[in-house]
Chains A and B, each alone.
Chain A
């Protein structure tokens, strides 16, 4: 992991002090609500439906055991509304039709952008929480607001077997460059960068304002393929390639050009047309030409001062060397034996075998594996972790993964440094904690935003639907049989639940003050199994919350009826969908409507 220097540490502390100063000025009336809002947002403090929400930055998803422990402490000691507020919130939620889980407190929530959120911390305690975060080099810098957000990356960065270049040092360089950039703190809209260094895109780069794919050119030089103008929201757009090859040391100069032209030209008259995707769509080549011209000026007239020196890359890269783990030195025989032992154990214990198949992935080091802990289970919202679970996860990370984990885009945790000979012990401990559900990549490993239970922007709740599907599909054999399915739920068009990229996507919409849901099919985040990045297509008019679980079941039954064998397995859902098209799925979904319930609730 990146090791914070004294400069980095005091910077985070100064930022916490700045937030305290702003909070105090707000409390004393020197700052109005409207003036305070963009300031607190840039430290991750939203005000939600009932209480503030804090979004803590986890730069490119990499998090230490010590940091997880502090998040546990925050969940336990601060994520608590007063009883009256909670009771009032619950009463309000209970008035909504349909069965829904109760509101919960004292937990952290892993987000699709690899950050961690809390939903109940009183704003008056926000400065204390920022001080506490700063003790482990954490903060909420630019996790919200119209600025450059946390850079996300491949959850397997640095360990993936298909990696060309480890993207983490570059993600860290981008983090530093974008932190409190004076010119780009008040952009037309938020700005998200994703970077991958592997052959397969596991970072959904096509869906970002800037997507970076690390490549080596014919001469073996490292650089970036640069996409620009991707984004979800009301108008889903896949990013366009603006540069086939940008030398690695030019990344800051080039981002400066991309964002300066956006800052100057991006629309500010309409919130829904302010993202860079709209500018890129409207201006196309003219925008690209302006960026290239600006980049040339930055290098030639301004002297290219942000060209990254080799020494700086080396300094940062040194932090990302693989941990030693006391493995027997250079011993393929040891690894082979350890792998054989895992196979023997798996043969004896089918549940362990299933976990290995579903939740454990190969590693650059043959003696190691990356392990995915599932935070998708009955009784908890997707990606939620209680204080105790965060503490327990911290202990697992410390014991089995060299003290380092990754928050994943699918709202789980990856332990990237697990020894083969410790897999079974890890499984046993994770199982007791309820973190070993072998459902990674399956239907119940769904993405869901907090939705209308917490979020002030949501048109509809996400969590009751997530719970209904999780409860309906608990049979592991059935889930296994359904195979890999990206199931994504967003409570509103802001698309925090990435419904556009789901093989099956659900979007909450508001009609006459009631919750309705659009179903989309065939979206892709750009990974191999999902195919080229594309938004899903809407299946007819929206459904009521009562209908959605039956609609999902009808769609899945259609898949089971139509799928063909493929390479020793049956086709995945997305493969069948691509082969036969949307029509049979649409017909099944529409046939699953409940006309009687519609009449009652209309």
Chain B
């Protein structure tokens, strides 16, 4: 997962991008030609965009970029990566130096996710 700052996030405007409010059902959208979707965390405790990301990646097979925006903090990054985000815009003022070790900490998880779809028991079988 790539982590960027707000200036980097604002640098590129693309006509093929969508910004989705977190109460939109992504299954109602026409994703033809869309290469990037920005999902929003208005507060980091509002987890609706995780379900949107999962549905986009896993259910709809969206292969473009899924970008996490808004109140994005270090300790959400692993959840974001696992639900299908591949880009996160860290909230202004958050020190990115603590980010990488969060990805290295757990050697595995109990569930399948949007990225690693099979749970451990399915792999063992």
Given the complex of chains A and B, what is the CA–CA distance between A185 and B81 in angstroms?
13
Given the complex of chains A and B, what is the CA–CA distance between A306 and B117 in angstroms?
9
Interface residues of A in 297-321 (CB under 8 A from B): 297, 301-303, 305-306, 308-309, 311-312, 315
Give the residue of A17, A39, A176, A309 whose beta carbon is less than 8 angstroms from that of B110: A176
Complex contact B73–A312 (CB within 8 A): no
Given the complex of chains A and B, what is the CA–CA distance between A18 and B109 in angstroms?
14
Complex contact A182–B105 (CB within 8 A): no
Give the residue of A182, A186, A301 whose beta carbon is less than 8 angstroms from that of B46: A186
Of B7-15, B32-40, B50-58, B62-70, the one touching chain A: B50-58
Complex contact B125–A182 (CB within 8 A): no
- Residue of B with least CB distance to A316: B121
- Residue of B with least CB distance to A29: B95
Inter-chain CB contacts under 8 Å: number: 104
- Chain A 463-506, CB-CB to B under 8 Å as 1, else 0, gives 00000000000000000000000000000000000000000000
Is B25 in contact with chain A by the CB < 8 A criterion? yes
Shortest beta-carbon distance, A8 to chain B, in Å? 9
With A263-B50, A309-B121, A309-B122 as known contacts, state yes or no: A30 contacts B45, CB within 8 Å: no
Interface residues of B, count at CB 8 A: 41
Give the residue of A10, A184, A185, A315 whose beta carbon is less than 8 angstroms from that of B107: A10
Give the residue of A7, A186, A302, A311 whose beta carbon is less than 8 angstroms from that of B44: A186
Which residues of chain A are within 8 angstroms of B48 by Cβ–Cβ distance? Answer: 263-264, 268
Which residues of chain B are within 8 angstroms of A311 by Cβ–Cβ distance? Answer: 121, 124-125
Give the residue of B50, B102, B110 whose beta carbon is less than 8 angstroms from that of A183: B50
Shortest beta-carbon distance, B18 to chain A, in Å? 18
Shortest beta-carbon distance, B54 to chain A, in Å? 5
- Residue of A with least CB distance to B117: A305
Complex contact B79–A14 (CB within 8 A): no
- Residue of B with least CB distance to A262: B51
- Residue of A with least CB distance to B125: A309
Shortest beta-carbon distance, A188 to chain B, in Å? 8
Complex contact A305–B105 (CB within 8 A): no
Complex contact B95–A30 (CB within 8 A): yes
Given the complex of chains A and B, what is the CA–CA distance between A182 and B47 in angstroms?
10
Complex contact A305–B45 (CB within 8 A): no
Complex contact B47–A305 (CB within 8 A): no
Given the complex of chains A and B, what is the CA–CA distance between A493 and B45 in angstroms?
23
Complex contact A260–B73 (CB within 8 A): no
Known contacts A186-B46, A306-B119; 15 additional CB pairs below 8 A are: A11-B106, A25-B74, A31-B73, A35-B44, A38-B45, A180-B109, A183-B83, A184-B50, A264-B48, A303-B117, A305-B118, A305-B122, A306-B111, A308-B121, A311-B121
Closest 7 CB pairs of A and B: A186-B47, A182-B82, A312-B121, A182-B79, A176-B110, A183-B50, A305-B112
18 examples of A-B residue contacts, CB within 8 angstroms = A11-B106, A11-B108, A14-B106, A18-B105, A30-B95, A30-B98, A39-B75, A177-B119, A179-B110, A181-B110, A183-B54, A183-B79, A184-B50, A186-B44, A306-B119, A308-B121, A309-B121, A311-B124
